[in-house]
Amino acid sequence: MMKRIGIMTSGGDAPGMNAAIRAVARKAMHEGLEVFGINYGFAGLVAGDIFQMTAQSVNDTIKRGGTMLYSARYPEFAQEEGQLKGIEQLNKFGIEALVVIGGDGSYHGALRLTEHGYNAIGLPGTIDNDIPYTDFTIGFDTSVNTVVEAIDRLQDTAASHERTFVVEVMGRGAGDIALWAGVAGAASDVIIPEHDFDVKKVAEKLRASREAGQKHAVIVLAEGVMHADEFAKELSAYGDFQLRSTVLGHVVRGGSPTARDRVLASEMGAYAVELLLEGKGGLAIGIQNNKLVNHNMLDLFDAKHEAQLDLYDLAHDLSI
């Protein structure tokens, strides 16, 4: 009968991670388990930076951005030597199973531990929304709302000075944040890595809009395409659009999570504990068609996240 589980966050932080930590901890305690927090991800696991949590440890954390367990990159965990050091610490603290909250790299570490006999469940904690077999990841909704708020403000100043703003947003190699924020923020154009684009056609569209009376514009650019300054430079070769570039950067990772992210994280966190109590590991949790699902982590490494390209078409249709 399992008695102790551990929780860690790994990779980039995402709003809602604390809500997931809270859900895992309190659901596990509700089931009579002892819960241990692991600081600084796999680096903290190897170092033994581990502490026992109580119900009070997660008081008032659901509304906080970032991660109360901190996060750190630790590529050494890809090697068996690092894994064995982590297992040594698990044995020392009597931890029998883990919940790992993070992205693709975090899942690799969780799978290695499962292969060594320590069941681990992965929760998709990343703003990029780039994990296969889940419609949404924890933190994505909050980041999109942050970007939309920034676009709304930039629309105001763009209109005041009849300028065109190129707004670069995070997402690594995925364009989901740009897509959703572009539609919600009434962007004049959305540029993502999953769809080809022609700078000359972007310029022609801007010129036609100006001739029709639309004197300002906001173009949303996913970071996986190119830097905003580079895009603005290429665009300026086709006309004077009073260009300005803005990189939102890490600001989209912070802030209090939205209600949607809090609920999603809570559902996923509780579900992870249920799976561990069933003796299951090596699984990644997702949500598809508004239903919680789980998939073998190995399947995720062979799959590829697909962008919702109908939103790309919608963004272009509505920006006429």
- In the prediction, which pLDDT does 73 show? 85
> How confident is the model at residue 3, as a pLDDT?
96
CB 223 within 8 A of CB 249: no
The CA–CA distances, whole Å, from 90 to 42, 53, 79, 83 equal 11, 15, 17, 11
Is 243:183 a contact under the CB 8 Å cutoff? no
The per-residue pLDDT for 160 is 96
pLDDT at 256: 98
Residue 26 marked as a ligand binder: yes
Please count the residues of the chain: 320
Check if the beta carbon of residue 139 is closer than 8 Å to that of residue 261.
yes
Q: Is 251 annotated as a binding residue?
A: yes
Domains, the chain:
4-139+257-302 (3.40.50.450), 141-254 (3.40.50.460)
Give the residues of the chain that fall short of pLDDT 50.
Answer: none
pLDDT of residue 26: 97
250 marked as binding residue:
yes
106 is in an annotated binding site: yes
DSSP conformation class of 125: B
So what's the pLDDT on residue 189?
Answer: 96
- The one-character DSSP state at 97 is E
For residue 142, the model assigns a pLDDT of: 98
- By CB atoms closer than 10 A (0-12, 13-18, 19+), residue 226 is middle
Active site residue 196: no
Q: Considering 13, 49, 128, 261, which one is annotated as catalytic?
A: 128
